[in-house]
Structure 1
Amino acid sequence: MKKALHLMLSVTLLGAMVGCGTNSNTSTGGKEVTPAPADSKPAATAPAPAKKVELKVFMGFPRFKDQFDKYFEQFKAKEKAEKNIDVTINLEMPNPDQAKQILQTRLSSNDAPDLFTLHAVADVPSYYKAGYLSDLSNQPFAAGLFDNVKKTVTFDGKIVALPLESLEWGYLYNKKVFNDLGLKAPQTVDEMKAVVEKLKLNKVTPFELSFQEAWIPQLIMALSLGGIVTSEHPDWIQKMNKGEASYKDVQDVFNIIDIVMQNGTDKPFEVGSAQGSTDFANGKAAMWVQGPWQAEAIQKVNPKIEFGVAPLPVSNNPKGTMINLSTSTSLAVSPTSKNKEVAMDLLNYILDPKDSSALFQELKFNPVSKVHTYKSFPWIDEAMTYVSQGKAYQDLSLPNGVTDEQAKLLQSYYAKQVTKDEIIKSLDKKWADAIKAQQ
């Protein structure tokens, strides 16, 4: 009896144990589970690895490398924080004299940078027709552009570049030198001759000459041609495009070119833009046919210098003495970019509502957008007084290659290697060849 009772208890206990094991295995798949401590926390999820993107950026003004290096570092941090994208920016900044040729070679050989600078007036039409420019009309930066600036980067009804340098420029002059000698900015060629003579009488060199880089003497032609064409030959561009005009019609451009070249500093072919800025800042010459884009370099050498911007006289008709009003260096995005989304992010960051004012102010650039809140510079205010009087013109649109040809020829002209007639003949041919190539 005792044995039977013991057997029954053993079977009952075994069944209970089996039952408990079956219930436990129902929720764990047969695996033994160790209860978690009451105060334990879920394991943290590892952050997703950052996406790596490389951008190639081509910009034609090496004098601003430090500023853009710093600004691009800010963009990289922003892109990493907001989108977890680790951006590498390969910045290429060749000398301005070689930049355009290098870029055109890259574009034509299907090796386009993701972003690149170009001249709004001189380059946009030909680059757009060649398919090198993306439509930026719907990008966030576009809505804030000032209307007059927006027009300069619009082609075929589309915004195709972001404007960097909006310019009101003529020549630079040392205000202290002018004030000390009782001089005012001349409004005619004869008045300029008188200013030159008074400067020389007081042992002051009239003009800084820095012809080591061909684009600098070309500025004299740009201003003189702009003033004469706008005031005396308003249909000259159209006639040239039709083969019905010549540079001989506007040969008075040489009046002011000769005055500048014959009354300047020595050894100009040993002086480029950097040394020219230093020389002008240190008072080596009273005037420099150069744009206010050199302001940062000039003030870096002499923070106390006071300089003004005045229109270059081109004849004895004051109506031709005009400020050049234009947009020059602009930034475009290649349609073939493999990282177009990030390229567009960088493009828009150039006019970021929060950060771009500090960048443009440091570069000494004019405001180009409603997002810019900094005060304009004194030399810009001076130039704008002429603009408000109607004494300004939009930068002339010359065929591709003509500006570069003018630059080379003016270097040769100073060195007395070519005559005026030879320059006229060469520029007429270059213009005609460029029009033919477009057809």
Structure 2
Amino acid sequence: MKRALHLLLTLTMLVAVLAACSSGTNKNGPSGSASPSSASGGEAAATEPPKKVELKVFMSFPRFKDQFERYFAQFKEKQLAEKNIDVTIQLEMPNADQAKQILQSRLSSGDAPDLYTLHANDIPTYYDAGYVADLTGQPFVAKLYEAVTETVKYDGKVAALPLESLSWGYLYNKTIFKEQGLTPPQTLDEMKAVTEKLQAAGVKPFLLAFQESWIPQLMMALSLGGTVSSSHPDWIQKMNEGSASYADVRSVFDIIDIIMANGTDKPFETGNEAGSAEFANGKAAMWVQGPWNAETILKVNPEMDFGVAPLPVSSNPEDAMINLATSTSLALSPTSKNKDVALDLLNYILDDKDSSALFEELKFNPIATVHQYEVFPWVNEASSYVSQGKAYLDLKLPNGVTDETAKLLQSYYIKDVTQDDIIAALDKVWQTAVKSN
């Protein structure tokens, strides 16, 4: 009897142990690899502490700090739940004027962030320097629109994840234009007539916000883009060969002079945030600024009705064209010590479920098949010019040219430099950049 009872107890305990083992669940992460729990059963997983990982993320648009912090918080929850990884994200968002210099210093000193933003036009320079990892095989690539993918390719490889795909020109206040019976001008003479009518009505034609140098350089970006694309299609090639000069496109200053002569007062006391607020409140009818500022503007005045129009550069209305570009993109450092988690975060930017809400909140254009949201009126307006063939691809200038342009245009406004000074300086910077490659 005792032996039978002992055998029964032994069998009961064995069944209990087997039942406990079989109750553990094996969860797979997004990649299909087994989670830590699969190796030792559910009971071990319940007590296993999460792996701690820190990511350094460097982004150049501080105006979107809140949005990205919230999105990254969602990623952290996802990593903990699906992979038992406790991620800490050190997010650095310096002022746009300082970001490029800070980033280059970090990269050259060996203190590279895991992920960082850069302009798509700068990809060749950073890739050749060994600062950009090849992302060709990553899941997000298959989701991108083909035309957008091409803007972040270099040497046949996808080198970054695009964030801002843009169709842009200058911004204009539709309410003011309607009140004054105006339509967006397509020639220099039409722009002069518009500024005269606005001035007569007591309305400042242009908002000037020169406290941050990247804003005034947008005038040159649009005027040069329209001029080169319409009248000097081989100018960049000739500049790279050393057989051309900014003197060949001196007419870029015609529209810049009109803008500067018809702008708001004290521009060096106004930066991007203050400029957005002033534009939102109707202080000026136009602003040479991109639709990437939509979120900041609408935060101040959610009811503001603004549009996007091409900047006139000549007497020919066909020369006024929309700029098509991918600007801010997200790259991975090849030296990242937590590359797998960094790649998870990179791919999460185009997450099938969560990405649309992020891009809609940022007021960015859709760039991928996973983006299912209604675009904004200014996007449709810019796209209407594109559909008419009035658009060009963003010019790719050598490294350093845009930064030098920014500083020179600030000096040009206060008459510290002349057009000839700017031409000589930009020619020199261009040739120095070409020779260093």
Q: TM-score, normalised by structure 1?
A: 0.91
| RMSD of equivalent CA atoms | 2.0
Structure 2 CA distance, aligned partners of 1:249 and 1:174? Answer: 33
Structure 2 CA distance, aligned partners of 1:120 and 1:333? Answer: 13
Structure 1 CA distance, aligned partners of 2:147 and 2:305? Answer: 28
Give the % identical residues.
69
- What is the letter of the counterpart of residue 297 of structure 1? T
- 1:62 positional shift: 0.2
Secondary structure of 1:215's counterpart equals coil
**Structure 1 unaligned residues grouped into runs of 5+:** 1-16, 28-32
- 1:415 positional shift: 1.1
- Pair 1:420 & 2:419 matched: yes
- Pair 1:74 & 2:43 matched: no
Mapping of residues 91-102 of structure 1, within 5 Å: 91-102=91-102
Shift in CA distance, 371/36, structure 1 to aligned 2, threshold 3 Å: closer
Aligned to 2:385: 386
- What is the letter of the counterpart of residue 377 of structure 1? F
Once the two structures are superposed, residues 241-287 of structure 1 have per-residue CA deviations (whole angstroms, 9 ceiling, x without a partner) of 01100000000000000000010000000000000000000000000
Once the two structures are superposed, residues 306-335 of structure 1 have per-residue CA deviations (whole angstroms, 9 ceiling, x without a partner) of 000000001111121000001000000011
Aligned to 1:55: 55
Aligned to 1:375: 374
Structure 1 CA distance, aligned partners of 2:166 and 2:91? Answer: 24
Structure 2 CA distance, aligned partners of 1:301 and 1:307? Answer: 13
Once the two structures are superposed, residues 193-224 of structure 1 have per-residue CA deviations (whole angstroms, 9 ceiling, x without a partner) of 00000000100000000000000000000000
Aligned to 1:87: 87
Secondary structure of 2:373's counterpart equals coil
Aligned to 2:310: 311
- What is the letter of the counterpart of residue 212 of structure 1? Q
Structure 1 CA distance, aligned partners of 2:436 and 2:155? Answer: 20
- 1:37 positional shift: 12
Aligned to 2:234: 235
- What is the letter of the counterpart of residue 307 of structure 2? G
Secondary structure of 2:212's counterpart equals coil
Secondary structure of 1:368's counterpart equals coil
- What is the letter of the counterpart of residue 287 of structure 2? W
Once the two structures are superposed, residues 277-300 of structure 1 have per-residue CA deviations (whole angstroms, 9 ceiling, x without a partner) of 000000000000000000001111
Structure 2 CA distance, aligned partners of 1:373 and 1:36? Answer: 55
Aligned to 2:25: none
**Structure 2 unaligned residues grouped into runs of 5+:** 22-42
Aligned to 1:5: none
- 1:47 positional shift: 2.8
Secondary structure of 2:284's counterpart equals coil
- What is the letter of the counterpart of residue 187 of structure 1? Q
Structure number with larger C-alpha Rg? 1
Aligned to 1:171: 170
- What is the letter of the counterpart of residue 421 of structure 1? D
- 1:36 positional shift: 6.3
- 1:109 positional shift: 1.1
Mapping of residues 295-374 of structure 1, within 5 Å: 295-374=294-373
Structure 1 CA distance, aligned partners of 2:404 and 2:15? Answer: 83
Secondary structure of 2:289's counterpart equals coil
- 1:387 positional shift: 0.3
Aligned to 1:103: 103
Structure 2 CA distance, aligned partners of 1:420 and 1:76? Answer: 51
Aligned to 2:40: none
Q: TM-score, normalised by structure 2?
A: 0.91
- 1:48 positional shift: 1.7
Aligned to 1:30: none
Aligned to 2:36: none
How many residue pairs match? The answer is: 410
Shift in CA distance, 341/36, structure 1 to aligned 2, threshold 3 Å: closer
- What is the letter of the counterpart of residue 73 of structure 2? E
Aligned to 2:130: 131
Aligned to 1:279: 278
Structure 1 CA distance, aligned partners of 2:305 and 2:59? Answer: 29
Shift in CA distance, 37/162, structure 1 to aligned 2, threshold 3 Å: closer
